[in-house]
Amino acid sequence: MVPPLPPIDDIVAAALAEDLGVTPGRIRVAVDDFELLARDVTSAAAVPSTARFTGAVVARESTVVCGLPVAARVFEMLATAVGAPDDVDILPLVAEGAHVSAGTPVLEVEGNARIVLAAERTALDFLMILSGIAAEANRWQTAAGATLRVHDTRKTLPGLRALSKYAVAVGGAHNHRAGLWDMVLVKDNHLARAGSVSAAVAAARAGTPGLRVEIEADTLAQALEAAGAGADVVMLDNFDDAALASAVRELRDTGATCEIEASGGIRFERLSALAATGVDIVSSSAIALAPPVDFGLDETKT
């Protein structure tokens, strides 16, 4: 199931503004002229203002398609910014989250050629980045199987975290915390100042009632203390596979009901072994930092 799309207009406006060399506010204001399009100096010199473009965005390699609504919004926002909101028509040709092969058209584009060409790179960049993340998330979760949940992390491109996490979910993997505000995650630098694992859990419960509390454990002793103190999640950081399996057994032998997460140095090749250890969650930054997938805009009518 495709998750809800996060708010995107600010992100799209900033991306278009970056490419056109203007402020994002200029993209958010409709002006009934083509002055903004003159910032695309190549198209302004070579393309008549009345020229038309009909074509399709095509996947150059197999992937999980993600970002179709974002790419469409790029064209729509630029058309609106130049006072021509009805001068570009966008039609998705596949569903968000679809698995496609190389050569598959995914988005039909028709409209004023100057608008289409000025928006092209930004629209493709969103599709490339988000589809790359979705495809990698799908690859990891498929390899992990049904009993091991693959989570992303906060290691994302600045400004693109919400969309990155959206892409992870489109690909079938899972989101860790969205930011610093929606979950307590006590790491080594926090523990060094909290006094103890138990004290950190107690302080988190008192200070942030209702939020999940996770403790990063570098040792089995820390993990057992965290579980005993009532942490919701115990993260076993940089444990090898044998140590993970042993820690899971010891935690479960205590009757702990917390979720157990493996993190640190997680590679795709370890997923089947990690699933066998009994951990509930594996988290990795590799998913949201996946390489982009190639897309191109091909003209179909000249």
Active site residue 35: no
0.85 exceeded by pTM:
yes
pLDDT digits (tens, 9 = 90+) for 18-31: 999 999 999 998 88
Pair 81, 19: CB distance under 8 Å:
no
Per residue in 205-218, is it b (16+ CB within 10 Å) or e — as a string? beeeeeeebbbbbb
Of 40, 120, 136, 216, catalytic: 216
Which of the residues 52, 149, 155, 252 is marked catalytic? 155
Report the mean per-residue pLDDT for the chain.
Answer: 97
On the question of pLDDT at 168 being above 70, the answer is yes
Q: Is 216 a catalytic residue?
A: yes
Which one is catalytic: 39, 52, 187, 212?
Answer: 187
Structure tokens at 31: 């002006």
Name the pLDDT band for 273 (thresholds 50, 70, 90). Answer: very high
Decide if pLDDT at 63 tops 70.
yes
Residue ranges of domains in the chain, CATH in brackets: 9-141+291-301 (3.90.1170.20), 174-283 (3.20.20.70)
The answer to whether residue 250 is catalytic is: no
Q: Does the pLDDT of residue 124 top 70, yes or no?
A: yes
At residue 80, does pLDDT exceed 80? yes
Quick one: three-class SS letters along 247-260?
A: HHHHHHHCCCCCEE
Q: Which of 120, 136, 237, 261 is catalytic?
A: 237
Could you confirm whether 52 is annotated as catalytic? no
Report the C-alpha gap between 49 and 103 in whole angstroms. Answer: 30
165 has catalytic annotation: no
Model confidence at 302: pLDDT above 70:
no
Cα 167 from Cα 129, distance rounded (Å): 9
Q: Is the model's pLDDT at 100 over the cut of 90?
A: yes
